[in-house]
Amino acid sequence: MNRITLTALSLGLIFSTSAIAQSDTMKSALDLPAACTSAPMSKMTMQQKPPMMMDGMNETQKAFHMAMMKMEPAMMQGMMIADPDIAWACSMIPHHQSAIDMSKAVLKTGKNAEMKSLAEKIITDQEKEIAQLTEWVGKQGKRAGK
């Protein structure tokens, strides 16, 4: 490949990565309780990985991929909390949200009634657990930053 083609491809990847990272789909993973975002993060854990090429993926695969892309940085943020209980709770919130997002994809595109029923149960259960975790983290106050 010549230099112009490589430059154009590189710029395209940079701009598409930025657009995906700023999309509403990615945003919800960062909506963590304040205590979950109080730990300092290294540059390495804050950086987003470039998106995997999604050409050739079907709708469900793309939804799963996006759910995992938004989960990973939020879980990394949570695990940096010094207190192990708060770190676990803060990491579980985006993990559970990813389960919800993937379950919604199965409800939209899946064909198996048993899996759709399980996806509905997972959504209900995980939403309750996210609320419980968020409430608990909110009560911990200054412990999160230590």
Assessment of whether the complete model's pTM goes beyond 0.75 = no
Q: Which tops the pLDDT comparison, 68 or 20?
A: 68
Per the listing, tokens 């999309």 go with: 23
Task: Determine the average pLDDT of the residues in 85-103.
Answer: 95
Q: What's the burial of 45, exposed, middle or buried (CB within 10 Å: 0-12/13-18/19+)? A: middle
Give the model confidence (pLDDT) of 16-39 as tens digits: 443 444 444 444 445 778 878 766
User: How far apart (Å, rounded) are the C-alpha atoms in residues 23 and 16?
Assistant: 11
Asked if residue 41 has pLDDT above 70, the reply is no
Tens of pLDDT, residue by residue over 48-67, are 454 557 778 898 889 898 98
pLDDT tens profile 69-90: 899 988 898 989 999 999 999 9
What is 44-111 written as a DSSP string? HHHSPPPPPP-TT--HHHHHHHHHHHHHHHHHHHHHT-SSHHHHHHHHHHHHHHHHHHHHHHHHHH--
- Average pLDDT on 88-103 reads 95
